[in-house]
Every structure is written in structure tokens, then in C-alpha cells.
Structure 1
């Protein structure tokens, strides 16, 4: 007779939620994802999966790791990223290929939609269920299974509730009650553009209160993100098309190829959001309810680590559940969740605070701060001082 499988409900169908669903299903749990959106659509521009994120994806499933490599641009060991000022002068050539070599785990620049599609496929392959247009309205957490009431009126119990519902997480609000996220002082306008570019391996261009990051994804396409120092709400209220025009006007004196990168994006693919983060917290667990991804540790995008940290969370949570819950049918959720929290809190707090600090440096609003940022990049030959440290990670490692 087959033993009954432990169950998990994952709230949120973003990168963290889907990665968690695939990881938990692969370690033997019966998993259901509930996502409030009625369907999966295009997921925005692009992102960097650094060696730590790729290692975590590989740990979740070698099949997933292969799919991500095939769908994105795998950065080779000799690849460089050009660091420029607003006039186009080269400040440095960052040797980003060295992040992943010689151990062989590369960085991958990739469209978010490609990551989403790979994860949806992996979730399906692992046997997890996805329920779209569904919200967890209420839950009751004690020492045993979690009782859930969904927006369709149904109720059920799960042995584990994983909250991967993002920076505005309702589960986090109930558990931690730390109020709204913190505005970081800048906004993000982003998209992707096909074409033939002078910097096909990617670049970072730095102006007064503006930084534009671009990286190749496939077939000559670059995804780009502009971070702009501004008052909260200024850019999102413009809408995508007007924000795209305003950005092009803001950088009109920059090299023509960079301006063209912005103007030749399809306005339908442009996303505009203010950047928020939260102060780190040490409590991610309440009974059998656990936070993951941006619900646990939202961070500024300056180090490009939000998706990577979510992949890490998913891999570590699955590893601890496999050890303490699934193997031998022990069902020791308390130990598993405590171990997950212990392994993840310190690392993610450090990365979040490093990202906050790097974001402030990146923006360089004002002549003096712009000079400080550009000089720092020239002297150290890289954009992010802490990135090499952050990307050294393995799923079997300790929290440090």
C-alpha cells in the first residue's frame, strides 16, 4: 500500500513560487500553486541568473538547468561588460565571465518570460497543479496542517503553506506586520530591443541620476533596465509609452545607439515600476507557514539578485524538507522549517543590504555622486563590488 504524500500549497506563481513548486514536487510532496492572475502572460524584460542562481536551478532539476541555458545567453569565461559614462567614454571592461569559471557554472542573461516558461514546464513535469485566478482568502496555522479558504469558496488543508506572493505579500503582513515596503528613491523603466548593437555583450551606462543596464538574451536582442532617481510615483503615473518617450528625452545627449535602444523597444513591452525593498527580518516561519522569495526578503535590483535568491530559497527549502520530512516519512516540519530559516536569513539579509547600498551608489544623483560612482567603477574595473562574493554559493553550503 502506498503511503499518503505530504501536501504543500504555494501562494504565488512568480519565479519564487514556481521554483518552489517544482522543487517541492520533485522531493516528493503533492503541490498546488494558487495564482491570482487569470493566466500567465509576458513577464517583463529580462534578468541575470548569476552562478548562484544557476546552481540553485540545477539543484532543483538538471532538466530545468539545461532549459535555462538553452533559452538564454550563456556568458562565456572571457566575456566582458562595458562600463560607460553618459558621453560614451569607456570607464572599464568588467570581466563578468570570471564570475562562473573555472568551476563551470555560468551566468545566464535571459528574458523573464523564458524563465517563466521553463518553470511552468518544470512544474508540470514534476506533477504539481497550478490553479489560476485563485487567492488564499484565509488560513489558520497551528502546529499541524494549515487550513485554507480559497476565493472560489473551497476549503482544504495542506501540510505546508509556502508564501511566495511577492513584496506586497498578505501572508507576510499577517506574520510579520512590518507595514508597507520602503521606497528606494528611484524608479525602473525596462524592456528589450532586437538589433545590431555596438556592445553585443552588454553594457552599463552611467549619467546624473540615471543608470542603464543592458545584456544580450538571444538573436541579437538586448534587454535593458533604466534606473532613474525620482520622487515616488512620478514615472509609473506616466504609463509605459509616455515613460519610454520621457526616458529617451532624458538621455537625448547620450550616445545615439543607447538612445536608439530605448526608442526602438515596443511600447507594449515596456514596464515601469518604482523600486522598493524592506528591512530584513529574522522571522519567516509561523507553524507550517513559511515565506520565500520577495515575500521574505524583497531587495533592490542593483546586484541583480532577487530571482537568484528565490531560486536559492526554493532549493534549500526542498533540501531541508527532503531530509526532515520526506525521507522515511518522518514528517518533521518544525525542524525542516527552522533549518531553512536559519540557513537563509543571514545570507539574504546581507545581500539585501548590499543591494540597497549599491543602488544608492549606482544612482549618482548630482555631479559629486556621479563622479564618485564613475571613479569607483574605473578603479575597481567592475560595477558591483560585492557581486563576486555574493555569487559564490552552493545548495549544500551553510548560511554564510
Structure 2
């Protein structure tokens, strides 16, 4: 691979949001960047996704706003929290000036498509990214920077980045042992439907129906919670409903932790909640209800070995309760770009490894804490025996969203130690 012998050769395993964002962030002179994706990349999973202000400011910095315009972004102006009876108990407004950027909602498929277009575009610095689909990876030699495909083909690079998700092959190579994702005790029903399907629901608060302003609604009671809001420019409505995991087997292989969801079981899980919420569930097409067993990772002992690093869900998969999964992968991409910025020709192993350890040192503490925050927010929203919602969705926003890049983070950390 590579158009010239002296190119800095970067190989990214995984063509999801983490992999494509990293490919874009690393583009520059004398760099050849290739992405290996196991699927045909025909479409991403249909679901809504948010980029938090800490990621939105990076998107702008990389010059991606014109590309993402095609993804019909919708600015989220805040959170509304309802108790299980349907009473509004808290509202947190998000102003652009507070964090220097907006919380933006996308359809995952639209965001993925826009990032792919940006990665392969001639309008950004450096050589367009090479994307190879139907290239499942079998193994990796992290010290040598050699990736072996299931076809038997071997590809060598100066830097290998494992962005291959929660079932990462590259994680196994870096750690030297298989480290499966951990069942969290929660499952999530995920629903996507046209916004118009909820417009005439009796009793549904007008503020939930409206996209002016667009806000995320949370309905909480005991150990159950629903997070829902609009997307795709206000055309769609997405719902995530968390329930204790009681219906999926905790297998570690295959896709057994994802299956079609039952509308009747979803409604039964929310017995006693506001009638309008059950009517929202009723409005969902049966074919658009999925059920995921939620898994994450404990903080890993390392992300780095030799010429290889893991990022995104491969390194720090987390619960969706803060909407930080995609945003943290973008922070990883920015850190890689920052600490590899001075490499403009083919580097030796020690130079690559030194840069990767700086990424690890800058990212590990922060992202591990956000993983822990995400678990904490998955706890029951009400204290036992209480009728009051105790969770404040703004509790961790300051820590999460004031982030302004890896080098700034390291500088501030040194000041406080």
C-alpha cells in the first residue's frame, strides 16, 4: 500500500464512525491512509445518534460541517425530564456559548455516509482515504504492524489503528488475550419511526411533539428509563427504552445479544408509566423495534502495543446513557492527529510507539471516568421508596463537554499536579 516509498502508511481496521473520523483527522501530506471494513458498507444500523459539544467542536475544526450538512443535522437545545406519571420535573437548556458548540442529532446512517464522503473527498488536506470493503481481519502482529485478512492476504503499515468495535480482533492482539465485552444487566429497546406517527397521540405533551426547539425527553421511574427525541432534520423520532436484562442469553459469540423486540413486552415493562408513553410505543411499527443487550468494557490495562493502538468501542465501549460513545471516539481521533502531527514521512517504530503512548496517557483517565459516569447514570433514577427523580442530566455535562482537545487537556492537567 502507499503511493510512494516514503509515505507514512496508516492502516485503520474498522470503517464505522470511529474509523472514518480517525482517517479524516490523520489526513495530510505524505500520508497514505487505508480503512479495512469487514462489511460491504451498504448501510449503517438505523438509529439516532448524538454528537456532544466536545465532538461537535472537533467536527468544525476539521472542516467537516459542509459535509455533515447533507446528514440533516438537528441541534438539540436541551433535556426535559419527566417522572413515570408524565409530570415534567426538570429542564436543562443547552446554549451554544456554554460549551463553544452544539449537541447535534443525526441518523447514524446519514452521519456515516457523510463521513465516508469526507474521507474520500479531494477537498480536504492530503490524499483521499482508501476504503476497502468486505475485508474481515483474522489477526494482527501489533509489533510488526502486520494485519492478516481472513482471505490470507497480509498488509503491513507503519501504524495500525484498531477501530473495529466492541468485538475487536485488534484488542485481542494488543492485550495478548481475548477480552470480551461485559453484559451490564441492562437491555435497550430501540425504535425509529416517522415523527408524524406521534403527532396526534392523546395526552402527549406538546413540547415532546415539537422540533422548535428540538429537545431530548427522558421519562424515568425506578430501574426503567426512556430517552427519546427527533432526528433527520425533524422527520424521524427515535426512542431508547432501558430495562433490566432478563430476556437475552449472555453468549459471547455471534450476534445473540441482538434480536427483534416485542412491542407487547416493551409495553409490559413500562406498566404504571404515563398512558401517553405507552401510546408512543403503540405507534411504533412492529418491524422497527429492536432489542439489544447492553455491554461495555472495564478499563483496559493498555491500548498500545508496538505499532498498534485500539480506539473507540474497541478500547472503551460504554453505555449509551450519556450519549458519549461516538463523541469519545472522535476525541481519540483528535488525540492521534495531535500527537502524530510532526510525522510527515515514513517513521521508525520507536517514533510511532512514543506517539501512541502519549495518546494513551492523554486519553485513558478521562475516558475511563466517562465510562464510569455512564454506568452511574444507568442506576435507578429514583431512590428506593421515593417518588422523586434524583438524576440530573446536567450533572456531568461540564466535565464532558468543556474538553478542547488532547494537548489542551494535558496542559491543564500538568497545571493541577
TM-score norm. by structure 1 comes to 0.86
| Matched positions, count | 381
Q: CA deviation at 1:344?
A: 0.7
Structure 2: distance between partners of 1:301 and 1:17 = 19
Q: Which runs of 5+ in 2 are unaligned?
A: none
Structure 1: distance between partners of 2:56 and 2:293 = 27
3-state SS, counterpart of residue 167 of structure 2: coil
Q: Which residue of 2 aligns with 1:56?
A: 58
Q: Which residue of 2 aligns with 1:165?
A: 164
Q: Which residue of 2 aligns with 1:186?
A: 186
Matches within 5 A, 1:287-298: 287-298=306-317
Question: Is 1:224 the equivalent of 2:239?
Answer: yes
Structure 1: distance between partners of 2:322 and 2:300 = 20
Q: Which residue of 2 aligns with 1:306?
A: 325
Matches within 5 A, 1:377-396: 377=391, 382-395=392-405, 396=407
Q: Which residue of 2 aligns with 1:31?
A: 33
Matches within 5 A, 1:280-291: 280-291=299-310
Q: CA deviation at 1:370?
A: 7.4
Q: Which residue of 2 aligns with 1:86?
A: 84
Q: CA deviation at 1:244?
A: 3.0
Question: After the TM superposition, which of the residue ranges 330-339 and 156-165 deviates more from structure 2?
Answer: 330-339
Structure 2: distance between partners of 1:361 and 1:397 = 35
Cα 1:80–1:245 change in 2 (3 A) is same
3-state SS, counterpart of residue 376 of structure 1: coil
Cα 1:256–1:239 change in 2 (3 A) is farther
Matches within 5 A, 1:246-395: 246-251=265-270, 253-323=272-342, 325-326=343-344, 332-362=351-381, 368-369=383-384, 371=386, 374-377=388-391, 382-395=392-405
Residues 300 and 356 in structure 1, CA contact (< 8 A), matched pair in contact too: yes
Structure 1: distance between partners of 2:257 and 2:368 = 33
Question: Is 1:398 the equivalent of 2:406?
Answer: no
Question: Is 1:207 the equivalent of 2:206?
Answer: no
TM-score norm. by structure 2 comes to 0.83
Residues 11 and 36 in structure 2, CA contact (< 8 A), matched pair in contact too: yes
3-state SS, counterpart of residue 105 of structure 1: coil
